[in-house]
Structure 1
Amino acid sequence: MSKKPKIRFKGFTDDWEQRKLGDLVYFLQNNTISRAELSLDDGEIFDIHYGDILIKFNECLDASMHTLPAIKNVKYLYKFTESFLKAGDVVMADTAEDETVGKCIELCNIENRNIVAGLHTIPMRPYSKFARGYLGFYMNTNIYHDQLLPLMQGSKVTSISRATILETYIKFPADIKEQKYIADYFLRIDHLITLHQRKYEKLLKIKKSMLENMFPKNGEMKPKIRFKGFTDDWEQCKLADIVGATYGGGTPATTNEAFWNGNIPWIQSSNTIEGQLFDMDVKKHISRDGLTHSATQMIPGNSIAVVTHVGVGKLVFMPYSYTTSQDFISLSYLKCDPQFLCYALYRKLQEDLHIVQGSAIKGITKEDLMIKQLVIPKIGEQEQIANTLESLDHLITLHQRKLEKLKKLKKSMLENMFA
């Protein structure tokens, strides 16, 4: 068992120490207050609920950056006085529906609030000081969490107990300065992730607003927001009026290796991502024999692939020739700007899905798709709208990729910067 991490800050060479959790921390009292007894309104006591640990909070919780639920009944103020949490305390979720049980948060800043550990949590306080954030990050690594896996009990709901986690091991550098370097590194990564996440979410809201306001509302012929110089009414038409040809798809026999790993792109509905209209990650290719001996068809570039079975409402623009599974109908030889039609049709399909929300939508037929009613402007305005939305999509994709890169970096470093 290694006593040193793979990646280390310069100047640190000593072996790390290993101690049982029970030798390093003591447990605090948690409460059993349900979510129904909590409120997002301001209050005197704030609650760390296990559900928020599992899906909302990062490893290091700064109370000034999050809206914590308050306990409605003030009588609890006196009951939990001895269990108010402090900076440096760790709170673990002891219950989950999967193996995420054991996820922790360390309170790095309580902002002078009265905070208690809530339902299905194990709060703990170190006997001696660790660098801010070190335990929060370490106890969320696979290195530590893998120790919890054999301790978990239950089938539908998984849980761990206080008694069993006392025997798990914590590894740490004795030099608190090294602990601080490690924790500060991950805090900086989390800060960057938060910044890009906010920019990404802001751009998504802007795009949603533009899709709502740069296209006419139902029954209207002019949008709310327009580029300068355009005043004419938009024209109503059926999708069939602006599509020159349609293509279906199929799947070559997966048991015949000769049909696969060729140079012809082949897509299926699982390749498409909701809202990403111009970014297709083609994972499979078929051969010429696969094309000849199946129902799939070669579709010309500058077409729109529309999902018509599982994943109705998703579509993607394909600038090059491709083939598809039977999950798609592809629209080709378009009589309008292809990018504009992508946005207009996506918006229309999303509107229709919203109208029947709650119903089981198993698919859409070619006939139903082609009679969809759209309103479109003249080509110059189509191009302006498409260019603006494409530029926005480009920014969204950039921030999304930065986010994914930072998250991968964090995951890798969590596995390599701890012994």
Structure 2
Amino acid sequence: MNKSLVPKIRFKGFDDEWKKYKLNDIGIFFRGLYKKTKADFEINNSNFYYVTYTNIYNNRFIKIDSLKYVNINKNENQNRLIKGDILFTMTSETYNEVGLCSIFNSDTDNVYLNSFCSGFRIIDIRIINSIFLLFLLLSIQYREKIIKMANGFTRYNLSKTLLLNLQVKIPNIIQQNLIGNFFTIIDKKIELVKEQLSLLTKQKQYYLNNMFANEKGYPQIRFKGFNDEWVLKQVQEVLTTIKSLKIKKNFESNTKLPLISQKKDFIDSYIKKGNLVEQLPIILFGDHTTILKYLDKYFFVADDGIKLLELSNSFRNFNLKFIYYSVLLNNVSQSGYKRHFLMLKNVFISLTNNINEQTKIAHFFTIIDRKIELVKEQLSLLAKQKQYYLNNMFI
């Protein structure tokens, strides 16, 4: 048996070799909308829709609720999408993003494709399963081949001619169906977890908006037993930057510690040597990114583009994590490469002087944040699982 025609992982009961095809043998490419003006896309209601570039880029299955309106005249000869069409991003600003594909797997009528993408339609769906083909084209070996086909300097474009000559290895239709269903289930799981993450994020924002005092000095939602008025204080009154003396330079640890920067990801990496921050707990503020992080365990600080904040002398008896969430609610917006801490210092935050109420609020949001982190971990695990099978179930 030719091992190059057999995948590393397959369903039980199948041991036959896969067959070689070119995309040109199994389907045809068609273009997206053409000869359209800006006015055709500015309407708010229509019987015609189109799939945007971002819908293809962000999703493996086209989101029908993200379709946009377009004007199509009776005399136009545009290519209408049908269920099973595979849609490609034909142009991108980077190599790694060109040639990403998604599937239009809906019976929705009167849907068209944007002009920066191309569609691929299978000739005989009795022989080729479009969902199987989608995930085959997303596997690492085929992504590498497609990326190499891209040409350009500031923008990279993909040739339909080269894509049509792409050789693919495909099993019989029964195996295709099984593999397509397998990845569909994984993708549905990923979407459900994403929805859960979105819901938790919205829930957190809702409580942030309502559990801190409004302009009248009282929050809309609060724990029972607390009814005193809140006060407004500027950030610079409540927080102060820690002194460099509290940071051990080039400290070498016996175990790896997290490296923290002003990037969006909470942890950059884990290392054994760096500038150790001993003053805990602490609030980290990204001076250029405006990212806020609350830290209560030893860490190495990544760069000097941050501010490390502790409670000022007048507020030593306050709960720092409560302060963190109040600042998070009132944080400044990122506006280019500038020193945002100068802006943050003058921001007013809402505070209760009752330490018991502070503690309850801080604990409440800690629980929400932990739920969010667990869901993110689940999402990351599913993404890795999907990538593992993409790398090993295709050839």
TM-score normalised per structure 2: 0.85
Question: What's the CA shift for 1:193?
Answer: 0.9
Structure 1 equivalent of residue 25 of structure 2: 23
Structure 2 equivalent of residue 256 of structure 1: none
SS at 1:395 equivalent? helix
1:19 touches 1:169 (CA, 8 Å); kept in 2? Answer: yes
Structure 2 equivalent of residue 12 of structure 1: 14
RMSD, matched Cα: 3.1
Matched to 1:70, the amino acid is: Y
Residue 386 of structure 2 is aligned to residue 410 of structure 1:
yes
* In structure 2, distance between residues paired with 1:40 and 1:140: 34
Structure 2 equivalent of residue 178 of structure 1: 175
- Of 202, 212, 215, 2:212 maps to 215
Structure 2 equivalent of residue 312 of structure 1: 290
Question: What's the CA shift for 1:238?
Answer: 5.6
SS at 1:402 equivalent? helix
Structure 1 equivalent of residue 308 of structure 2: 329
Question: What's the CA shift for 1:180?
Answer: 0.7
2:264 touches 2:291 (CA, 8 Å); kept in 1? Answer: no
- Of 35, 45, 48, 1:45 maps to 48
Identity score, percent: 22
Residue 41 of structure 2 is aligned to residue 69 of structure 1:
no
* In structure 2, distance between residues paired with 1:3 and 1:10: 16
- Of 81, 89, 100, 1:93 maps to 89
Deviations 1:210-264 (CA, angstroms, capped at 9, x unpaired): 11111113x44211211122111124456576669933376856xxxxx556448
Question: What's the CA shift for 1:158?
Answer: 0.7
TM-score normalised per structure 1: 0.81
Matched to 2:261, the amino acid is: S
SS at 1:92 equivalent? strand
Q: 1:188 to 1:297 in 2, by over 3 A?
A: closer
Question: What's the CA shift for 1:30?
Answer: 2.9
Matched to 1:212, the amino acid is: N
* Length, aligned pairs only: 383
- Of 178, 202, 221, 1:225 maps to 221
Deviations 1:76-95 (CA, angstroms, capped at 9, x unpaired): x44236x3222222222211
* In structure 1, distance between residues paired with 2:341 and 2:236: 15
Q: 1:271 to 1:264 in 2, by over 3 A?
A: farther
Structure 2 equivalent of residue 104 of structure 1: 101
Question: What's the CA shift for 1:162?
Answer: 1.7
1:95 touches 1:102 (CA, 8 Å); kept in 2? Answer: yes
1:269 touches 1:307 (CA, 8 Å); kept in 2? Answer: no
Q: Which moved more, 1:329-338 or 1:150-159?
A: 329-338
Unaligned runs of 5+ in 2: none
* In structure 1, distance between residues paired with 2:76 and 2:98: 27
- Of 144, 152, 164, 1:146 maps to 144
* In structure 2, distance between residues paired with 1:331 and 1:44: 58
- Of 244, 264, 272, 1:285 maps to 272
Structure 2 equivalent of residue 361 of structure 1: 338
Q: 1:388 to 1:410 in 2, by over 3 A?
A: same
* In structure 1, distance between residues paired with 2:324 and 2:114: 47
Q: 1:123 to 1:397 in 2, by over 3 A?
A: same
1:315 touches 1:346 (CA, 8 Å); kept in 2? Answer: no
* In structure 1, distance between residues paired with 2:121 and 2:241: 68
1:89 touches 1:126 (CA, 8 Å); kept in 2? Answer: yes
Unaligned runs of 5+ in 1: 254-258, 274-278, 291-295
Structure 2 equivalent of residue 57 of structure 1: 59
SS at 1:225 equivalent? coil
1:144 touches 1:169 (CA, 8 Å); kept in 2? Answer: no
